[in-house]
């Protein structure tokens, strides 16, 4: 969650708005370009691809779980 918070703060999201239950689009008002920026930031930090461009609004907890799953899948593949 800390790495995701860092990425969001870099995008200009106030830290006090960043909670596990915050929705990317509804609560944090992120657009598609910013979700791509988050995906790229996660790829740089963890070396995994996480697609956040879907129409479904996700919480930060959902994103963290996707990253953890992608890391686990990558670890098992190597």
Residue 77 pLDDT greater than 90, yes or no: no
71: Cβ–Cβ under 8 A, 6 or more apart, which residues? 46, 48
SS3 category, 76: helix
What does the DSSP 8-state code read for residue 73? H
Considering the chain, what percentage of its residues have pLDDT values greater than 70? Answer: 99
State pLDDT tens for residues 43-69.
999 999 998 877 789 999 999 999 999
Structure tokens at 52: 């956040």
Whole-number mean pLDDT of the chain? 92
For residue 70, the enclosing domain spans 2-77
Please state the separation of Cα 34 from the chain's center in Å.
Answer: 10
Number of folded domains that form the chain: 1
Which pLDDT score is estimated for 9?
96
Q: Can you give the pTM of this predicted structure?
A: 0.85
Which pLDDT score is estimated for 78?
61
| Residue 67 to residue 16: CA distance in whole angstroms | 22
Could you tell me the CATH number of the domain that includes residue 29?
1.10.1200.10
């Amino acid at each position: 969650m800390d790495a995701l918070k860092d990425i969001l703060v870099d995008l200009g999201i106030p830290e006090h708005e960043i909670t596990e239950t915050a929705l990317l689009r509804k609560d944090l008002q992120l657009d598609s370009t910013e979700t791509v920026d988050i995906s790229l930031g996660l790829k740089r930090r963890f070396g995994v691809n996480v697609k956040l461009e879907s129409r479904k609004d996700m919480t930060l907890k959902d994103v963290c779980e996707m990253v953890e799953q992608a890391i686990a899948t990558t670890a098992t593949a190597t």
